[in-house]
A and B are shown apart, each in its own frame.
Chain A
């Protein structure tokens, strides 16, 4: 406890820094994955190839990626942006497949009905596809949020500050309180963001609350999403 008290402002700095990297990475992942998922849904053949390639990005180990990104984009190695881009690539790799599943989960009859009511194609996308696929999408977003938050820590290995610094410094100096603080806070950030996502989900899809039918449907969305 004493270590934590003596270093409260430093820990807080690292916590903020951690969130500042994780949140943009997740948001970029969402936007990119939805776009890719949409593309794959619209053009099946091309989509399968693109999604396959995207998901393989995930197998590229993180450290080399953090070295290669700055070379390719000519940005500084030791910048938040470098880590944000790397994390966004991983997030997109994980989420794009789920996004496609999400669009496929929309009942085509609903879409047809909307068309019959005279909605434009764009209108259907914004008002039918996206909202109705949101529950499945959200379950994927929750997964990448948690894994992104955990992954931010590797930035410490290339000088990008985050809660990961508490781990490296704690190990070097043998300060257990520091290591535990790093791990616990990382998990805490993940849990808090996850809870926020659940709340956002409940807020933007109000039709999924209250009724027992909604409850069982919610459970089905959580478990079953199709992946190519």
Chain B
């Protein structure tokens, strides 16, 4: 019955599956054509990267637009994850220019780094960077980890510095990314540097909205949030002053490969010099409040500063 008829009908299935197989291989091959795979690449083009972090992307945009305006050929590789994802590409030179932060990058490159102060960290970073990479001038703008508490909590216990936490008699729950637990600025560092005892709970959103909510809910009493984060102002959070240098200084610093020549480096240095800490917070706020794209925010800032 059907059997005699089926071969020619069934052939369609066969054809379909064969097409699928060929398609799979072709598409997989396409997926491989990531321009970054051939590390180094065309040396005329400056490949600029940015973290998956809106603030970092704005700075990278500023680099990109300024270089392009000066006649350089640039290629943007933005929003490429967190440090663990992109660091290999910087180390290999697949990315030529990347806005980084002195302290966190130093720790990522050298777990045992002891430098704390701005200039020491910058110097140590210069040495920790692999051959072929250099740190351009660091900016005055900082975006660094800070311990924050809510205004109510600060008022209740009279807190202004981290040291003041010793006055708190209730248990303190501290929330931050998981890696903070083992970092020098985590619970152990707090104990040894300031004599403050806290318990730790991980909130892996990098001081984002979940962390802020946990603070406001009272689930945690203290968190690590970046000083550049507009949510500190918006939620009336209080960053505690780090009088004994528990946190490494964390200035915005462009990391450049050899493909970035002196002329290009000079342009980037100008941007770093023009960017104040207040500027950075303001740029971040525009991203969050006005929901503008990094491209627009960077362009308008460059124009305001007369850099474009």
Direct contact of A and B (CB under 8 A): yes
Chain A residues proximal to chain B, CB less than 8 Å: 2-3, 6-7, 10, 20-21, 23-24, 27-28, 30-31, 34, 75-81, 84, 110, 113-114, 117, 126-128, 130-132, 134, 156-161, 165, 168-169, 171-175, 177, 200, 203-207
Q: Given A20-B27, A76-B89, A77-B88, does the pair A173, B291 have CB atoms closer than 8 Å? A: yes
B interface bracket (residues with beta carbon within 8 Å of A): 35 or more
Chain B residues packing against A (C-beta within 8 Å): 2-4, 6-7, 9-14, 16-17, 20-21, 23-24, 27-28, 30-32, 34, 36-37, 52-54, 79-82, 84-86, 88-89, 94, 205-206, 208-209, 231, 287-288, 291-293
* A interface SS class: helix
Residues of B within 8 A of A174 (CB): 209, 231, 288
Q: Which of A27, A161, A171, A203 has most chain B Cβ within 10 Å?
A: A27
Contact across chains for A27 and B85 when beta carbons are under 8 A apart: no
What DSSP secondary structure best describes chain B's contact surface? Answer: helix
Among candidates B17, B37, B208, B288, residue contacting A130 with C-beta atoms closer than 8 Å = B17
Question: How far does the Cβ of B180 sit from chain A's closest Cβ, in whole Å?
Answer: 18
Do residues B10 and A110 form an inter-chain contact, with CB atoms below 8 A?
A: no
Assess whether B31 is in contact with A21, with CB atoms less than 8 Å apart: yes
Please indicate the chain A residues that have their CB under 8 angstroms from the CB of B291 in the complex.
2-3, 6, 173, 175, 177
Residue of A nearest to B87 (CB): A77
Please tell me which one of the listed residues A78, A84, A134, A156 contacts residue B86 in the complex, with CB atoms under 8 A apart: A78
Contact A130 B32 (CB under 8 A): no
Instruction: Considering the complex, give the chain A residue whose CB is closest to the CB of B234.
Output: A174
Given contacts A20-B30, A130-B10, 12 further A-B pairs with CB under 8 A are A24-B31, A27-B20, A28-B24, A76-B94, A78-B89, A114-B3, A127-B6, A127-B11, A158-B85, A169-B52, A174-B209, A200-B16
A128 and B24: CB pair below 8 A?
no
